[in-house]
Structure 1
Amino acid sequence: MPGQRAPSFRRRRLLGAAAVLAPLAAIAPAASAYGASPHVPRIYMILFRGETDVEAGFHQWFRDKHLDAEIMVRSVDMDASRVPALLDEARAWHADLIYTWGTPVSLAVAAKEFEIPIVFTMVSAPIAAGLVPGLATSRRNLTGVSHVVPARQQMNAIQTYRRFDRIGAIFSPNEVNAKVAMREMRAESEHIGVEFTAHAVPLDETGQPRPDAIPEMLQEFAERKTQLIYIGPDSFIASQRILVTETALALGLPVFSAAEVALRDGSALFGLVAGYKNVGRLTAHKAAQILYHRVKPAALPIETPGTYSYLVNMDVARQLGMMPPARVLQFAEQIK
């Protein structure tokens, strides 16, 4: 596959099982703020479902800082059992840092790798998932970025739009992060007297969630007079965002999303989110601290981006006849 050039770093890409490498030339030296280094650091990315805007933000941050790095990209295509083989490749490639996307991949990598520094991203509940004991320090050779707004703030955002008394949710039973989100949102719902019903997507004979079951699950929610569908931090549901949000829209069900992708590349009505590119930039900053300043990962706290965005899909609002109230329009970002 022919190479493509970028202004400040080399990048090798391989998604899924495809055995194709596309090197990108590294041109610019490391920024003076990080100090010059004769060694071009190698970053090995293990993604869950291919590249996203998180990686776009990561790469852009390195370009903006004029940092030189060689990046190899791999995706497990939603199958974390592929992680051990990829770790063998990362070690053979002499990676200086491993970047992991999402809870399933991050847990699988952290369980096997103890020498190469790890920076995780898009992990919604790192403590509850057992990835770290606390946010101040991991006490081991990893750090990272969480992306999900706390459940209480999500519930406040939901009720700010209008009063929803019956909320339904579907989730993957294979993802720790998704189950934690359902538990936390149920607790917040009980606190304010809202009914919250969450159903796990049934699994097929291989143990994977069945996309074909989603329309019937949403139909059942509509028949039970559910007022809102909640999408939490769930990589499987995110991969099925078009099916979920468009089916819900056809049934007259508004969708609140805790992740940006279902709003910008789906038909969710609204959500309170940390922007994917901002998540990527913060992750890149942590990687640079390790690679250029030689900061130990355990010395870097686990953080979320400092700001959140309240997004409203105005086209969906019109279709549903649920235009946002004036108070929401004062601070919401409107997507058309």
Structure 2
Amino acid sequence: MNGAGRAGLACLLLLLVARPGWAAAGSGGDAPRRVGLILFSQAFRPAAEGFREGMARLGYREGRELLLDVRDIGRDLEQVPGLIREFTRKGYDLVVTTTTPVARAALAQPRGPPLLFTMVASPLRSGLVSSLRVPGGRASGVSHIAFETLPRRLILFKTAFPSLRRVALFHSSRLPFLKGHIEEYLRPVANELKIELVDYPVNDTREFDACSAAIAPGEIDGIFMLPDPISVTMLEQLVRFSRERRLPLMVADNALLARGGVMGYSPDFHDIGVQVAGMADRVLRGAEVGRLPVQNPWKISLLVSVKEAR
């Protein structure tokens, strides 16, 4: 190597020492970064795999640059406070959560690592952040924009089933914010499509069974599932009722189609995991999580179950 080449190499090395963030994550030398990932249930496992894949693409080799601790709480939110305390005690660098309830339970703890949330329908309205552009606090993440996509979901439902006139909305009276979202996002487009939204307040599976049994044949043409946790717990009943009455069911999330329903329009859990890995990389390199803007999903997909459509 000539003198100019040696001088250039020395200059580059000095820059890398001065700005270690320029080096690849897999360059070695530093202790592995510790990340705790909390799954609400096994249904969200694809998000963990996407996160693992996204981190690998960024140069974080698991077991070397990254120690990823995935915990499935099996819908038991009472486990979350203990997990956050454990992650804090062990000096974890970051926590990644799935669903609004998990994120809220984690942030309810007075201390904890920076947090990135996923599968949150509305980060602002749920109180997880004070601003989408500058979240503040110790959290940011990827919004699931589940309420913002309500109009598009209804349009796609009507396009697939042009004869829809009366569409059932089964929702909990214990979640008054849902009514506001229906009026803000869904009712205007329903009026344009000449669809009557028929409300059926139900708070649990027993109430659903009683309510659905009282619905006369021909009273509704389809079922539109709302993005709330109670609806998800009633999915089995919704699917059974839709099949018995031969009614199309638009599910709230594509991940639910494996269990029933004719179509869905939502982000993909795996893709969201890959996306939030990019935010995690920035936090692990020193970015302040409260100054990272909340992101929308990179991609939203329409999925149709050919089996159910028949």
Q: What is the TM-score when the length of structure 2 is the normalising length?
A: 0.78
Structure 1 unaligned runs (5+)?
A: 1-29, 203-209, 319-336
C-alpha separation between the residues in 2 aligned to 1:107 and 1:176?
18
SS of the equivalent of 1:126 reads coil
Secondary structure (helix, strand or coil) at the match of 1:121 reads strand
Q: Specify the code of the residue in structure 1 equivalent to 2:78.
A: S
Give, in whole Å, the separation in 2 of the partners of 1:31 and 1:224: 64
**Which residue in 2 is equivalent to 1:140?**
137
Encode CA deviations 1:40-60: one digit per residue, 9 max, x unaligned: 111112222234222221122
Separation of aligned partners in 1, 2:107 and 2:151: 29
Q: Structure 1 residues 200, 162: CA separation in 2 closer, same or farther (over 3 Å shift)?
A: same
Secondary structure of 1:52's counterpart equals helix
Instruction: Note if 1:261 corresponds to 2:255.
Output: yes
Q: 1:140 to 1:275 in 2, by over 3 A?
A: same
Are 1:302 and 2:294 an aligned pair? yes
- Identify which of 252, 269, 286 aligns with 1:276: 269
Matched length? 280
| Residue segments in structure 2 that go unaligned for 5+ positions in a row | 1-20
**How many Å apart are 1:143 and its aligned residue?**
0.7
Structure 2 residue identity aligned to 1:225: E
For 2:46, the equivalent position in structure 1 comes to 53
Higher relative contact order (CA 8 A, sep 6+): 2
In 1, Cα distance between equivalents of 2:32 and 2:153: 41
1:152 is displaced (CA, Å) by 2.3
1:127 aligned residue (116, 124, 127): 124
**Structure with the larger helix share:** 2
Distance (whole Å) between structure 1 residues aligned to residue 176 and residue 277 of structure 2: 25
Deviation at 1:70, TM superposition (A): 1.3
What residue is the counterpart of 2:100 in the other structure? Answer: 103
What amino acid does structure 1 have at the position aligned with 2:50? G
CA contact (8 A) 2:263 2:304 kept: yes
| Local SS of the residue matching 2:120 | coil
Q: 1:277 to 1:104 in 2, by over 3 A?
A: same
Residue 117 (1) aligns with residue 114 (2):
yes
2:220 to 216, 219, 226: 226
Who is 2:90 aligned against?
Answer: 93
**Following the alignment from structure 1 to structure 2, what is the Cα–Cα distance between the partners of residues 154 and 237?**
16
- Given residue 51 of structure 2, which amino acid in structure 1 is its aligned partner? F
Q: Distance in 2 between matches of 1:252 and 1:142?
A: 44
CA, structure 1 residues 184+83, in 2 after alignment: closer, same or farther (shift >3 Å)?
farther
Aligned to 2:12: none
Structure 2 CA distance for aligned equivalents of residues 107 and 58 of structure 1: 21
Is the 2:142–2:272 Cα contact (8 Å) retained in structure 1? yes
| CA deviation string 1:252-290 (max 9, x = no partner) | 111112311122x12211121111111111122211211
Shift of 1:238: 3.1
1:180-191 correspondence runs (5 A): 181-189=181-189, 191=191
| Deviation at residue 185 of structure 1 after TM alignment | 4.6
Which one of the candidate residues 287, 290, 314 is aligned to 2:306?
314
Normalised TM-score (structure 1)? 0.73
Once the 2 structures are TM-superposed, how far is the Cα of residue 212 of structure 1 from its aligned partner? 4.3
CA contact (8 A) 1:246 1:266 kept: no
Q: What is the CA–CA distance in structure 2 between the aligned matches of 1:75 and 1:187, rounded to whole Å?
A: 37
Match of 1:252 among 246, 249, 253: 246
